Amino acid sequence: MQKHNIKKLQENLLFWYEKNGRKSLPWRNLKSLKCDERLKDIDKAYGVYISEIMLQQTQVKSVLERFYFPFLAKFPNLFTLAEAKEEELLKAWQGLGYYSRVRNLKKAALECIEKFGGILPKEPEKLKKLSGIGAYTAGAIACFAYDQKVAFVDGNIRRVLSRLFALKNANMKELESKAYQILNLNDAFNHNQALLDIGALVCLPKNPKCGVCPFYDFCKAKFNPESYPENKKILYEKLNLFLVFIEYKNQIAIKKSQEKLYKGMYNFPLFKESEFKLTKNMKYLGEFKHSYTKYKINVKVYHQILKIKTKDYEFKEFKELKHIPLSILSLKALNLIKF
DNA sequence: TTCCCGTACT
DNA sequence: AGTACGGGAA
CA of A260: nearest nucleotide by C1' is B4
Q: DSSP secondary-structure letter at A326?
A: B
CB A116 within 8 A of CB A92: no
The CA distance from A94 to A293, in Å, is 17
C7: residue with closest CA to C1': A56
Q: DSSP secondary-structure letter at A312?
A: T
pLDDT exceeds cutoff 90 at A338: no
Is the minimum distance from the CB of A98 to strand C below 7 Å? yes
The CA distance from A60 to A141, in Å, is 17
pTM: 0.96
| E strand or H helix at A168 | none
Nucleotides of B under 7 A from a protein CB: 3-10
The SS3 of residue A128 is coil
B6: residue with closest CA to C1': A97
Confidence tier at A233 by pLDDT (50, 70, 90): confident
Q: Name A302's bridge partners.
A: A244, A284
The SS3 of residue A119 is coil
C6: residue with closest CA to C1': A57
Is the minimum distance from the CB of A79 to strand C below 7 Å? no
Q: Name A163's bridge partners.
A: none
The CA distance from A325 to A168, in Å, is 41
Helices A44-55/A100-116 angle, 10° precision: 150
Is the minimum distance from the CB of A240 to strand C below 7 Å? no
> Could you tell me which CATH class the domain A3-227 is placed in?
mainly alpha
Entry field: residues in chain A: 339
DSSP string, A298-317: EEEEEEEE-SS--TTSEEEE
Closest C-alpha to A90, from A111, A98, A82, A58: A98
pLDDT exceeds cutoff 80 at A319: yes
Exposure string for A74-112, b = 16+ CB within 10 A, e = fewer = ebbebeebbebeeeebbbbbbebeebebbbbbbbbbebb
User: What does the pLDDT read at residue A244?
Assistant: 97
User: What does the pLDDT read at residue A232?
Assistant: 84
- The residue from A18, A52, A237, A317 that is catalytic is A52
User: What does the pLDDT read at residue A65?
Assistant: 94
Average pLDDT of chain A is 95
DSSP alpha helix (H) spans, A84-233? 86-93, 100-116, 124-127, 135-146, 155-164, 172-182, 188-197
Instruction: Give tens-digit pLDDT for A17-46.
Output: 999 999 999 999 999 999 999 999 999 999
Phi-psi region of A264 (alpha: psi -120 to 50; beta: other; left: phi over 0): left
Instruction: Give tens-digit pLDDT for A89-134.
Output: 999 999 999 999 999 999 999 999 999 999 999 999 999 999 999 9
CB A161 within 8 A of CB A179: yes
Rounded to whole angstroms, the distance from the CA of residue A320 to the C1' of nucleotide C10 is 35
CA of A101: nearest nucleotide by C1' is C8
B8: residue with closest CA to C1': A59
Rounded to whole angstroms, the distance from the CA of residue A138 to the C1' of nucleotide C10 is 20
Closest C-alpha to A46, from A7, A2, A78: A78
The CA distance from A132 to A103, in Å, is 9
| E strand or H helix at A292 | strand A282-292
Is the minimum distance from the CB of A99 to strand B below 7 Å? yes
Q: DSSP secondary-structure letter at A244?
A: E
- What is the residue extent of each domain of chain A? 3-227, 237-335
pLDDT exceeds cutoff 80 at A156: yes
Report residue A292: phi and psi, to 5°. -155, 155
Nucleotides of C under 7 A from a protein CB: 1-9
Instruction: Give tens-digit pLDDT for A39-91.
Output: 999 999 999 999 999 999 899 999 999 999 999 999 999 999 999 999 999 99
Is the minimum distance from the CB of A319 to strand B below 7 Å? no
Is the minimum distance from the CB of A162 to strand C below 7 Å? no
pLDDT exceeds cutoff 80 at A206: yes
User: What does the pLDDT read at residue A339?
Assistant: 79
Rounded to whole angstroms, the distance from the CA of residue A128 to the C1' of nucleotide B9 is 34
**Whether the domain at A3-227 and the domain at A237-335 fall into the same CATH topology:** no
Is the minimum distance from the CB of A51 to strand C below 7 Å? no
Closest C-alpha to A253, from A308, A298, A332: A308
Q: Which fold has domain A237-335?
A: Nucleoside Triphosphate Pyrophosphohydrolase (3.90.79)
